[in-house]
Amino acid sequence: MKEGFVTQDYYAAVPLGKKQLMIIFNGQQLEVVNTELQAKKFIEAHRATSAGVGTVFVGSVDKPKNKRKAR
């Protein structure tokens, strides 16, 4: 049976069956892989594509611009 691991930023690779690992982040099942190396590579790639803490999105929809008042 494989051993799992957890990272400091809360990714988890949990044993699934006898030969696989399931990668979980934020309560979601992201991927099923066969080796620990594949799990680490997937987590690194996923970190690069997901928004981090403190990320500011340009063009957010907080306040509408140029809103006219009804007369």
With CA atoms as reference, report the closest residue to 36 among 9, 18, 15, 10.
15
Rounded to whole angstroms, the Cα distance separating 10 from 32 reads: 17
Model confidence over 32-59: pLDDT tens digits? 999 999 999 999 999 888 766 655 545 5
2 versus 32: which is more confidently predicted?
32
45 versus 67: which is more confidently predicted?
45
Read off the pTM: 0.67
